[in-house]
Amino acid sequence: MHVYNASTTLERALLNEWNSTLANLRHDYGALGELTGDEAIELIRRPQLAVDRDQILSQMLELEHGGDTVAGKVILKSFLPLAFRLARTCSSVRAIWRNSPTDATATTIGALWEVIRTYPLHRASSVAGNIRLECIKLLERGFGASTDVELAVDDETLEHLVNADSGTDIDDPFRDLVTLFTWAIDNGTLTAEEVRLLARIELAEGNPGEERQQAADELGISRETLNRRVHRIRTKLMTAVCGDVQERVSYAPRRS
Contact 82, 174 (CB under 8 A): no
What is the C-alpha to C-alpha distance for residues 2 and 185, in angstroms, rounded to an integer?
A: 26
State pTM to two decimals: 0.58
What is the C-alpha to C-alpha distance for residues 103 and 30, in angstroms, rounded to an integer?
A: 35
How many other CB atoms sit within 10 Å of the CB of residue 40?
Answer: 27
Sequence-ordered list of residues with C-beta below 8 angstroms from that of 212, at least 6 positions apart, any chain: 201, 204, 223, 226, 227, 230
pLDDT of 155: 42
pLDDT of 25: 93
CA atoms within 13 A on the CB side of 164: 19
- Going residue by residue through the chain, which has 256 residues, state the pLDDT in tens, using 9 for 90 and above: 222 334 567 777 888 888 888 999 999 999 999 999 999 999 998 888 888 999 999 999 999 999 999 999 999 999 988 888 888 877 788 888 888 888 888 999 999 999 999 999 999 988 888 888 888 888 888 886 544 444 444 444 444 433 433 333 434 455 566 667 777 776 778 887 888 888 888 776 667 788 788 888 888 888 899 999 999 998 888 888 776 544 444 444 444 4
pLDDT of 161: 38
Short-list 78, 103, 104, CA closest to 91: 104
pLDDT of 37: 94
What is the C-alpha to C-alpha distance for residues 82 and 48, in angstroms, rounded to an integer?
A: 19
Which H/E stretch holds residue 56? helix 50-65
